[in-house]
A = this chain, B = another copy of it.
Amino acid sequence: MRIGELAAECDCSVETIRYYEKVGLLSKPERAENGYRTYTENQLKWLQFILRCRRIGLTQDEIRQLADIETKVSAKCDEVNELLTQHLVNLHRKLDDLKQMEKSILRLKNKCEKGTLGDCLVIVELMK
């Protein structure tokens, strides 16, 4: 399977695949006589794994950690859970900020609807 097929299969760009190879997230594939990369089914699965991790917001470093954990068959799931728990904490902080932000904007919108933007302290409202 060539890089274009792999990209189509995984719904990501060819450049992203080459990039993942460069930074060591994806193992170097075999090369055909002409120098083209040829991928195996296993590498496809691994790429899908990486993309799925990225989609739920894990960083490359975190993915690398997961990959490392995977090789330590004796390790406990606790490590994986620890990583995910930390990720959840970060996520909740973002959610809280987002909700706070929504409130601020709604408040500002209400001010504007009263038609007195000229003297309503928009900035002050925004910053509350």
Contact = CB atoms under 8 A, between A and B. Distances in A.
Nearest to A77: B112
A88 interface: yes
Interface stretch (A1-9, A11-19, A29-37, A46-54): A46-54
Contacts of A118: 73-74
Contacts of A70: 117, 122-123
A109 interface: yes
Contacts of A56: 94, 97-98, 101, 104-105
Interface string A100-128: 11101110110011111110101110110
16 contacts: A45-B124, A52-B101, A53-B126, A55-B93, A55-B94, A56-B97, A56-B104, A57-B98, A69-B117, A69-B126, A75-B117, A77-B114, A77-B116, A79-B117, A84-B108, A91-B101
Interface of A: 45-46, 48-49, 52-53, 55-58, 66, 69-70, 72-77, 79-81, 84-85, 87-88, 91-95, 97-102, 104-106, 108-109, 112-118, 120, 122-124, 126-127
